[in-house]
Structure 1
């Protein structure tokens, strides 16, 4: 026997789905900032459709509860504190669906001296002394490049100038 859903049944199911979506987004944002893209991805993994999640997420954004700008600044600051350079931070934020403009604003908002940070990261890994040979210098430069620093930051960090 196959039963047809009435409009009331469909409305009840939609209201229940909406409540689950609201609770899921609230739980995520209570722990830390999340990008819009990250929330959509996580809820899709839980089997929620983007068409159901998007209107609720729009409401969270309009109310200022979810903000890609706030997420970008928070994430950029955390990565810089861990010793990541501006290129690595930009790449990370782009992977989380943050737009180019917000990435640039977040990196600028950190107000970090990238030259000093590159030197600190280099010294933490390799010590304060300058590399004696070409091979050691290249190893330090590759490490800083991997950490997302620009060439000018790297040169400053390994040259001692």
Structure 2
């Protein structure tokens, strides 16, 4: 690999990471799509990782916080991060680091969509539960959100 090719790869990685955090596997995928050989860019990407310029942990925390603020539950966030190739241990750490109150988040999401009253009709309460399940909340979060407390 020539020095020119190395500069092109460094520039491509730098531009990617300047816009937002990216996971390691996401950078690999994007560089491969550009037609750059993995043998050429993997050592350079590892240099970025060793210097902490690329961090799966930072990416996971940033992405988890964004999804949490959009009203997504822990199950959806976990699946989303896994799709970006983030290790399960890092996903667990990111979910802990954002210090989310999943119960209140589920209640807030439910209130925004359906209002702040207890639904007495069984079918409509089931609809609320399905909606929260779709948003990625676990059953105990859902039960808290739709309860009359």
TM-score clears 0.5? yes
Deviation sequence 1:41-95 (CA, Å, 0-9, x none): 1111111122211101000000010000111011101110000111111000000
Name the structure 2 match of 1:101: 89
Pairing partner for 2:26 from 33, 38, 41: 38
- Could you say which residue in structure 1 is the equivalent of 2:122? 134
Give the TM-score taking structure 2 as reference length. Answer: 0.96
C-alpha deviation, 1:132, in angstroms: 2.6
For structure 2, list consecutive stretches of 5 or more residues without a partner in the other structure: none
State the alpha-carbon separation in 2 of the partners of residues 150 and 106 from structure 1: 18
In structure 1, the partner of 2:6 is: 18
Q: Which residue of 2 aligns with 1:113?
A: 101
Structure 1 or 2, whichever has the larger Rg, is: 1
Gapped regions of structure 1 (runs ≥ 5): 1-10
Distance 1:98 1:39 in 2: 12
How big is each residue's C-alpha offset from its partner over 1:97-139, in whole Å with a ceiling of 9 and x where there is no partner? 0000000000000111100000000001111112231111111
Question: What TM-score do the two structures reach when normalised by structure 1?
Answer: 0.89
